[in-house]
Amino acid sequence: MDSVIKSLSDAIYYNLIREQRYMQFIQGLGISLQLTLYAAILGTVIGLFLALAKLGRIKWLEGLATLYVDVIRGTPAVVQLVLIYYAILGSSNLPKIVVASVAFGINSGAYVCELIRAGILAVDRGQMEAARSLGFSYSHSMIYIIIPQAIKNILPALANEFIVLLKETAIAGYIALDDLTRAGNIVRGRTFDAYTPFIVVALIYLYITTMLTWLLNKLEGRLRESD
């Protein structure tokens, strides 16, 4: 029993306390959260434009958006990240967090596009007809009638996408960005303990995603109430 407690306290000491290693995790978490936030914002903007392009009636724009979504969804995120880092943005002196945010934003945009599209298509067809029959143009019907209703469908799915995105950013270490996962890796490199740092990392991710899921459920409840 003593030896178990001893080895546990040793593990905590070496992996968290010594050389202030807990700071690695905290800074890593900061990077992960920042990255998720920026990528989520960019992804939402890209996704909105893609969805409108796909729903609109301009054929070549629709084709372009479809191609974008297919390529992004059909290739691994880590490959996209590395390609964007080396081929596109690596040549400039942009900070890695910016490069990674752009890469994850581009990736997330494809998924957000489908969420928004589905949310808009879920609004009853009669709503558009009623708006058009009053004399509203297509775009005004969208703005005043369709999108406000679609947001209700979209918000929960969008929040869920951001939770997924947070975990996706765990591959940011591929371009040597010191996010939470890479913090675990760095500490492991110093302590030669494979378990403890990654258990800590896992617990932190779990804590954050659980909190976000709890918030999401509250949001869904509020949206349902107003029905």
Partner 1 sequence: MIEVVDLHKYFGKLQVLKGVNTNIKKQEVVCVIGASGSGKSTFLRCLNLLEEPTSGEIIIDGIPLVEQRKDINRLRQKVGMVFQQFNLFPHMTVMENITLAPMKLKGMSKTEAYETARDLLNKVGLPDKDNEYPNRLSGGQKQRVAIARALAMDPEVMLFDEPTSALDPEMVGEVLNVMKQLANEGMTMVVVTHEMGFAKEVGDRIMFMDEGIIYEEGTPQELFNNPRRERTKEFLGKVL
Judged by the rule CB under 8 A, the positions of this chain that interact with partner 1 are: 124, 126-127, 129-137, 140, 144-145, 148-149, 152, 227
Residue 59 or 125 with smaller CB distance to partner 1: 125
Which tokens hold the place of 145? Answer: 């009638």
Residue ranges in the chain assigned as alpha helix (H): 2-12, 22-55, 59-73, 77-83, 96-121, 125-134, 138-141, 147-168, 180-191, 195-225
Helices 147-168, 22-55: crossing angle, 10 deg rounding = 140
Which C-beta is closer to partner 1: that of 57 or that of 92?
57
d(CA 224, CA 212): 18
Separation of alpha carbons 25 and 29, rounded Å: 6
The closest of 97, 107, 108, 103 to 82, measured between CA atoms, is: 103
Question: Which is closer to partner 1, CB of 66 or CB of 127?
Answer: 127
Residue number with CB closer to partner 1 (130 or 202) = 130
Instruction: State which residue, 16 or 116, has the beta carbon closest to partner 1.
Output: 116
* Residue 154, token pair as written in the block: 């979209």
